[in-house]
C-alpha cells in the first residue's frame, strides 16, 4: 500500500520505520523539506523516500498525520478527498493553545482535523501509545504479551485498513467507536492513554468509560458500538 506520512518526529519517524518493515511503499515529509530528512531516510532504508507535504498527500492511499495538534490548520486540504487519514495527534493546551470547546469535550481534536480536511476518512490511532513502545513492543499474533491499540472513526472500511496495519506491526487494534464518543475515550487524560495493556484490558476500560459518560444524541449522530477487538479480515 502507498502511505504518505506528514511529520517525521518521534511518531512519524517510528511509523515510517515500521510501515517500511511490514512491506509498504512509504514517503515521509515535514515543513523543513526533504533535505532535512536525509538521516531518517538512510537510517530506515527499505525504499523510504522524503518528499514535500503535498507530495505525501498525493502519494498516499493512506496519509498519516503526526504533527503537533495545534498546527493542523497548516495541513493541505487539496488531494485529501477520499483518502484514509490516520490522526495520531493529541491536544495539549500548553503546547497547542487553549481551545475551550476541546477542554469542555463538546468536540474532539480528531473532529477538528476531519473538519479541516473535508472529504477524508479520518481514523484516530497510535495517539495513545508512546513512540518507544510502538517501536519496540510489537509481537507476533497470538503472543500473550501483545499490546492493544485503540482506534476510532466513522468509516468502517477505513478503520479496517488501519486495523490491518496495526496487526501487521505486532499489536491488536481495539475499536473504541466513532471519532467523538470513541476518540475522547483514548485521548490524553483517559485510563487507556499511554497504558501498556492488552486488547482485552483496553476494551474493558473503554466499556467503563462508556458507563461513566453516557452518550447523548448530540454526539456524532451515530450510535457507538461496544468496544471490541476489530475483527480480522
Ligand X SMILES: NC(=O)c1ccc[n+]([C@@H]2O[C@H](COP(=O)([O-])OP(=O)(O)OC[C@H]3O[C@@H](n4cnc5c(N)ncnc54)[C@H](OP(=O)(O)O)[C@@H]3O)[C@@H](O)[C@H]2O)c1
Residue numbers of the site for ligand X (CB under 6 A)?
A: 6-12, 30-32, 36, 53, 66-69, 71, 74, 88-90, 126-127, 130-131
Q: Given the complex with ligand X, which of 79 and 219 has the nearer CB atom? A: 79
Considering beta carbons, is residue 124 or 159 the nearer one to ligand X? Answer: 124
> Cell triple for residue 181?
464518543
Given the complex with ligand X, which of 9 and 223 has the nearer CB atom?
9
Smallest gap, in angstroms, from Cβ of residue 233 to ligand X?
25
Q: Can you tell me the distance from the alpha carbon of 18 to that of 136, in angstroms, rounded to the nearest whole number?
A: 10
Residue 23 C-alpha cell reads as: 512491506
Is the CB of 73 or the CB of 211 nearer to ligand X?
A: 73
Q: Rounded distance, CA 24 to CA 46, Å?
A: 9
CB of 13 to ligand X, least distance (A): 7
- Residue 225 contacts residue 177 (beta carbons within 8 Å): yes
Compute the distance between CA of residue 210 and CA of residue 98 in angstroms, rounded to an integer: 26
For residue 214, the minimal CB distance to ligand X (Å) is: 28
Q: 212 vs 27, 44, 170, 205, 207, CA distance in Å?
A: 41, 43, 31, 11, 9
Those residues with Cβ within 8 angstroms of residue 39's Cβ, 6 or more apart along the chain or in another chain? none
CB of 32 or CB of 211, closer to ligand X: 32
Please identify the residue of the shown chain whose CB is closest to the bound ligand X. Answer: 9
Query: At closest approach, how far in Å is the CB of 28 from ligand X?
Result: 9
Strand, helix or coil at 108?
Answer: coil
Q: How far apart are CB 232 and ligand X at their closest, in Å? A: 24
**DSSP 8-class letter at 87:** E
Q: How far is the CB of 149 from ligand X (least distance, A)?
A: 10
Distances 169 to 16, 111, 143, 148 between C-alpha atoms, Å: 11, 26, 13, 11
Would you say 125 or 154 has its CB closer to ligand X?
125
- Least Cα distance to 120 among 128, 112, 131, 108 occurs for 112
Amino acid at each position: 500500500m502507498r502511505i504518505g506520512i506528514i511529520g517525521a518526529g518521534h511518531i512519524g519517524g517510528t511509523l515510517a520505520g515500521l510501515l517500511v518493515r511490514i512491506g509498504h511503499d512509504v514517503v515521509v515529509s515535514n515543513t523543513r523539506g526533504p533535505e532535512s530528512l536525509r538521516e531518517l531516510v538512510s537510517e530506515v532504508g527499505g525504499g523510504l523516500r522524503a518528499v514535500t507535504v503535498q507530495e505525501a498527500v498525493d502519494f498516499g492511499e493512506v496519509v498519516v498525520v503526526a504533527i503537533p495538534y495545534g498546527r493542523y490548520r497548516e495541513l493541505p486540504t487539496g488531494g485529501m478527498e477520499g483518502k484514509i487519514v490516520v490522526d495520531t495527534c493529541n491536544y495539549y493546551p500548553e503546547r497547542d493553545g487553549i481551545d475551550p470547546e476541546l477542554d469542555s469535550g463538546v468536540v474532539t481534536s480528531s473532529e477538528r482535523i476531519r473538519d479541516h480536511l473535508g472529504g477524508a476518512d479520518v481514523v484516530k490511532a497510535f495517539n495513545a501509545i508512546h513512540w518507544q513502545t510502538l517501536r519496540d513492543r510489537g509481537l507476533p499474533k497470538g503472543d500473550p504479551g501483545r499490546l492493544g491499540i485503540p482506534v476510532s472513526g466513522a468509516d468502517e472500511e477505513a478503520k479496517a485498513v488501519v486495523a490491518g496495519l496495526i496487526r501487521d506491526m505486532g499489536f491488536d487494534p481495539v475499536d473504541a467507536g466513532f471519532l467523538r464518543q470513541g476518540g475522547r475515550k483514548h485521548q490524553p487524560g483517559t485510563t487507556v492513554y499511554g497504558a501498556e495493556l492488552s486488547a482485552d484490558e483496553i476494551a474493558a476500560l473503554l466499556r467503563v468509560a462508556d458507563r461513566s459518560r453516557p452518550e447523548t444524541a448530540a454526539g456524532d449522530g451515530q450510535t457507538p458500538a461496544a468496544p471490541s477487538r476489530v475483527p480480522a479480515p
